[in-house]
Chains A and B, each alone.
Chain A
Amino acid sequence: MKILVSAKRVSDPNAKLAISSDGTWIEGDVEYVMNYFCENAIECALQLAEEHGDIETVALGIGESDETARFIRQGALARGIDRGILVSADEQTTDSDLIARIYARVAEREAPDLILIGKQAVDGDSNQVGQLLAEYLGWPQATFASKVELKDGEVVVTREVDGGLETLAVTLPAVVTADLRLNEPRFAPLAGIMKAKKKPLDELELDDLELGDAKPKVRIVKMSTPEGRKAGVLVKDVDDLVARLRAEARVL
């Protein structure tokens, strides 16, 4: 059995971000981190492999080549993923659709039984790639997973949906997207970091994937900093708060 898992780097949304001079991307000393949800997906792949044995795990990263390679090695291979695939691409001009089409091409080559992917990347925050990919492949999906079990050719997934938890049993091959509560991602052990340097990492160019039209469908035309909310007043005590909520805000 084979699991393909996502390893995307993102510019840290908690760091200070500056908008580029043309107003359509970010610039400056951008700090990168592994996408939080990809960490959950990687951890899930490792746990399934440990539990069931005989599962090959493959991490896919798409982006600027040197940096993305480093994230695949440190974030995925060092933690125990068997090998990596890097597709070099300009992160600014890849939308969710193009990423999903790249995944679909890689999936056709690799023929995984399960694709585990972060539910969203915390830079673009689109929450689309897993679902787009499932439709491109004609596979079933289970998104926003908080529990994943493999049994009898199915993946049984508990999903975090509005109002509660839904459980679906999905026949393999399938796409599952990881939510935060799926697991606690492990730290890479020191030995893993050494081993990761020797693990295979295939590098592909977009042209190798014969995507036909490698254009995005969605384009950012302007970025801005959201209008801030103004700080209000500090109240003296609870009496003051109640009085103002009544008289000024008229919400009590």
Chain B
Amino acid sequence: MTKILVIAEHEKGAPKKLTLNTLEFARQVVAHAGGSYDLAVLGSGVGGVAQALTGYGADAVYVADHPDLAHVLAGPYAKVIADLAQRAGADLVCMSASSAGKDVLPRVAVRLQAGMASDVVGVVQTAQGLAYRRPMWAGNLTGDVVVETPVQVVSVRASAFDALAATGGASPLVEVAADPQAASARVRYVGFEGVVSSRPDLAEASVVVAGGRGLKDRFNQITEPLADLLGGAIGASRAAVDDGYAPNDYQVGQTGKVVAPQLYFAIAISGAVQHLAGMKNSKVIVAINKNADEPIFKVADYGLVADAFVAVPELVGKIKALRA
């Protein structure tokens, strides 16, 4: 029997979808091992977030509301999460492998003397017990790992799990007195510079239009009209980011964002292994590249060997005509 504590993530007063994907991971662990899960919401003024999560089958929704938790800082968050895990009697603590989850969870593991599995994409039963499946070597290999400590910590790759649908019911809200102070010392939050965009979040978009180095300084000119027409987000290969054609935040790949939209356009992207690791779970992949030998065509559902500078504007025109 497992007792799982799922750490919710939220933005602008509402839970992020990542939280529902992480809940689906928890549901799968419960399906294998038995048990149940609790949710925890940390932050400042997060009563509404907690309320919004009472319909997802948790035994309890813990709320740790404290001014010092307004920003996700690893030290204080790890302390409050570890305290909560002990209170809830959790033997598995999980959160999505977002930048926040990656930052905070290892510190939670140390506090709980737990082993941690990162970026988990599946739950598998093995002869050695329940194992977590995770990509390794830039996605070239998959490892099934067993965590051999009484308490376990897992970061969950959200794009590998469906969002858990609301189950109905009303989990009780449990307010806890959070004590982040001592762990807040020696870190000062200076500021956040958000990417201003009217487009959807890359990690959660149902359409992603990604461009590669070959688009050069016409990167935006080629990707934006298609993305905006389809209500999609824009992504980029590492090469395009490294060469300065696209901002850092656009990078799709093992070391960047991992996405799994309904429709993924890879435009002038060769398909390096580390890029494929970030998008190969997309439902439909379209590759447009003038070189027919590029590895991207080996994973694409639809490949078009063509000059992107000609083909993409034509594609935009044809889709517009179709909708007119």
Contacts and interface: CB of A to CB of B under 8 A. Distances in A.
A226 B139 contact: yes
Interface string A226-240: 101101111101110
A140 B186 contact: yes
Contacts of B190: 156, 167-169
Nearest to A132: B106
Contacts of A96: 106, 116, 118
Interface in A205-252: 216-226, 228-229, 231-235, 237-239, 241-242, 244-246, 249, 251-252
B191 A166 contact: yes
Nearest to A181: B248
A122 interface: yes
B273 A13 contact: yes
Contacts of A218: 115-117, 145-148
A17 B304 contact: no
Interface in B264-301: 272-274, 280, 283-286, 292, 297-301
A143 interface: yes
Contact of B145 (A100, A171, A221, A251): A221
A40 to B, nearest CB: 11
B198 interface: no
A127 interface: yes
A134 B111 CA distance: 11
Interface string B78-109: 10000000000000000000111011111101
Interface residues of A, number: 79
What's the dominant secondary structure at chain A's contact region? mixed
A143 B74 contact: yes
Given A17-B140, A128-B116, A232-B301, 11 more contacts: A100-B106, A126-B116, A126-B119, A159-B99, A221-B127, A223-B136, A223-B142, A228-B299, A234-B303, A241-B304, A242-B318
Contacts, number: 255
A165 B136 contact: no
A97 interface: yes
A127 B194 contact: no
Interface string B130-153: 010011111111111111110000
B188 A170 contact: yes
A159 B193 CA distance: 10
Closest 4 A/B residue pairs (Cβ):
A217-B115, A131-B106, A232-B301, A13-B138
Interface of A: 11, 13-14, 17, 19, 26, 36, 95-97, 100, 120, 122-129, 131-132, 134-136, 139-144, 146, 154, 156, 159-171, 174, 180-181, 216-226, 228-229, 231-235, 237-239, 241-242, 244-246, 249, 251-252
Nearest to A36: B255
B201 A127 contact: no
A148 to B, nearest CB: 13
Contact of B119 (A127, A171, A232): A127
A131 B74 contact: yes
